[in-house]
Amino acid sequence: MRRSGSMAAVVAVVLASAVAVVSLALAQPRPADAGVSPTTTSDLSPLSERRVVTGWIPWWKFDAGVGQVVDNSDLVAEVSPFWYRATPKSVVQAQVDNPHPESMLVNGIDQLHAAGVAAIPSITDQGFDATAMARLLTDRARRGTLIGHIVDTVARTGADGADIDFEAMNFGGSAADKSAVRRAFPVFLAKLRDRLHARGAILSVAVPARRSATDANWAVFDYDAIGRSVDRARIMTYDYSTASSTPGPIGPIDWVREVTKYAATEFRKVPLSIGVPAYGRNWPIQKVSGSCPSGQGATSVASPTSQEALNLIGTWGATRQWSTVYQEAHFDYERTYSGGGKTCVMLRRVWFGEGRSAQARLELAQRLDVQGIAVWTLGPEDLSLWTRARKVAESLTPSPARSALSAPRSAATGDSYAVVGRFSVSGLPVAARSVAVQRRVPGKTWKTVGHVSTNIRGRARFDAIATRTFEWRMRLPADWDWSTSQTPAHAVKAS
């Protein structure tokens, strides 16, 4: 299972994911049109304040994950199919053990596009270590070849960008190798971002959890340099407790808060999403009675998905508990193991992410003024996550669309002229929407004199005849992704 995070003395093995674009001011609410969005298709939804959920759709739960995103597309602007890996030969291939043809991914991307959701496939560094990655990233030719293969993959599949999920590069190798990776990784990202932008696509990155620039965990990840090289970032704030640690929360809220606050200071112009686990850990605590058979998993740590953890509660008659300190669910249960003439009863403890803990982290995201949550993984998540996320999204007031109005400064009496309004949200045009055209004699009351529709570029044109001096403006009604939006006034003098 892909995972991230750390305890004070535990560095967990990881798999991550990544993100994309739109400028975010941390000291004030993010403008509704503040940066770059994918423009590979004209039907994508904008990354507005109400698009609070993103995450990864794994190849092993692909159809289920696509279905959940499509069904809840009002909450999602972008999502990452977890599909590819880079190789030391600088090519992009399906992940090890991924048996599915690329046509399955393309079909999923088509379904996501039909729902207005951008698809940003993830590419991991499965099979690398620090030594292998240092060699690749510091070799201009090999680095350029990999960038070319990534861009070609995006173009071939009709995707809207790439999500770089390099984590194995943090392990193995020498201190010199890791130092080289730390310096070269942001350079690689910046060059890849520029190539993707050239074709209207975006770059996202998944970063493991760090609490400061001097945090010894995940030291190859320079948040500040990475933040200047990407369009989106997702922080993997989970796996605080691991299979090799004592039982405990997957992502305690105080730790999540500390990591996110630090990340927000480094990813200053990048939309951030807080990682949320749709899985848990199931630890053996103690043998209650009997002699345990071997090979039955009695003493093993398991990693159930959120849905599997919820099923365990019903199967074994457990009672779900809620930690107010960690803001996470947990439960104990006793299970009987039999085999080879042996039987034992084992007490087990499960901590896991579900809808309530996801809501707590989404509310934290709003308090810290970051974009929302990134769910690992979509498909096996607790379905109440969507209901709770929608409740939070509905409580938010989105920013107005970005707007402008153009017209001549003057026109001869009796001549015709055009008044043109433009509307966009997060860099994407507001298309096929009716806007009210309003005018007034300077100093008088505004009156609506007509309605026009925006075109595919978010432009609305109204033709007028100069009879006297008028001020003009256009007004876009509120929708899910924007509040009522009004252009600045523009005066046209009749001469």
Where do the domains of the chain lie?
6-277+353-394, 282-350, 402-494
Cβ–Cβ under 8 Å, residues 377 and 278: yes
Measured between alpha carbons, how far is residue 218 from residues 52, 230, 265 in Å? 26, 18, 18
Give phi and psi for 493, each to the nearest 5.
Answer: -85, 130
Interhelix angle for 130-137 vs 175-197, to 10°?
50
Cβ–Cβ under 8 Å, residues 149 and 92: yes
Nearest CA among 137, 152, 140 for reference residue 92:
152
Cβ–Cβ under 8 Å, residues 376 and 57: no
Q: Rounded CA gap, 34 and 401, in Å?
A: 10
What is the DSSP-derived secondary structure letter of residue 395?
Answer: T
Q: Rounded CA gap, 361 and 195, in Å?
A: 34
Structure tokens at 278: 């749709």
Which regions of 102-214 does DSSP assign to beta strands (E)?
118-119, 122-124, 161-165, 202-208
List beta partners, residue 203: 162
Question: Tokens 């630890």 appear where?
Answer: 283
Cβ–Cβ under 8 Å, residues 160 and 198: no
Say which amino acid occupies 96: V
List beta partners, residue 434: 453
Question: Tokens 């995070």 appear where?
Answer: 5
Structure tokens at 440: 């007034």
Domain 282-350 has CATH 3.30.70: no
Q: What's the fold here for domain 402-494?
A: Immunoglobulin-like (2.60.40)
**pLDDT tens digits in sequence order for the chain, 495 residues long:** 444 443 333 333 333 333 333 333 323 333 334 457 898 776 899 999 999 999 999 999 999 999 999 999 999 999 999 999 999 999 999 999 999 999 999 999 999 999 999 999 999 999 999 999 999 999 999 999 999 999 999 999 999 999 999 999 999 999 999 999 999 999 999 999 999 999 999 999 999 999 999 999 999 999 999 999 999 999 999 999 999 999 999 999 999 999 999 999 999 989 999 999 999 999 999 999 999 999 899 999 999 999 999 999 999 999 999 999 999 999 999 999 999 999 999 999 999 999 999 999 999 999 999 999 999 999 999 999 999 999 999 999 999 999 999 999 999 999 999 999 999 999 999 999 999 999 999 999 999 999 999 999 999 999 999 999 999 999 999 999 999 999 999 999 999
**pLDDT at residue 43, rounded to an integer:** 85
DSSP per-residue letters across 199-252: TT-EEEEEEE--SSTT-STTTT--HHHHHTT-SEEEEE---SS-TTS-S--SS-
Structure tokens at 386: 């969507």
Measured between alpha carbons, how far is residue 263 from residues 101, 186, 209, 213, 260 in Å? 36, 16, 9, 10, 5
Measured between alpha carbons, how far is residue 438 from residues 104, 464, 474, 491 in Å? 49, 12, 6, 12
Q: Rounded CA gap, 285 and 283, in Å?
A: 6
**pLDDT at residue 35, rounded to an integer:** 53
Contacts of 349 (CB under 8 A, 6+ apart): 247, 282, 283, 285, 330, 331, 332
Cβ–Cβ under 8 Å, residues 9 and 241: no
Q: Rounded CA gap, 157 and 86, in Å?
A: 16
Contacts of 362 (CB under 8 A, 6+ apart): 52, 53, 274, 276, 372, 373, 388, 389, 392
Nearest CA among 17, 6, 14 for reference residue 206:
17
* CATH superfamily of this structure's domain 6-277+353-394: Glycosidases (3.20.20.80)
Q: Rounded CA gap, 166 and 129, in Å?
A: 10
Specify the DSSP element, H or E, that contains 180: helix 175-197
**What pairing do the DSSP bridges indicate for beta strands 92-94 and 118-119?**
unpaired
**pLDDT at residue 25, rounded to an integer:** 31
Cβ–Cβ under 8 Å, residues 459 and 405: no
Q: How far is CA 406 from the centre of its chain?
A: 35
R_g over Cα of the chain: 26
Q: How far is CA 93 from the centre of its chain?
A: 23
Structure tokens at 47: 């990354």
List beta partners, residue 286: 347
Q: Rounded CA gap, 117 and 111, in Å?
A: 9
State pTM to two decimals.
0.91
Say which amino acid occupies 399: S
Nearest CA among 136, 157, 249 for reference residue 201:
157
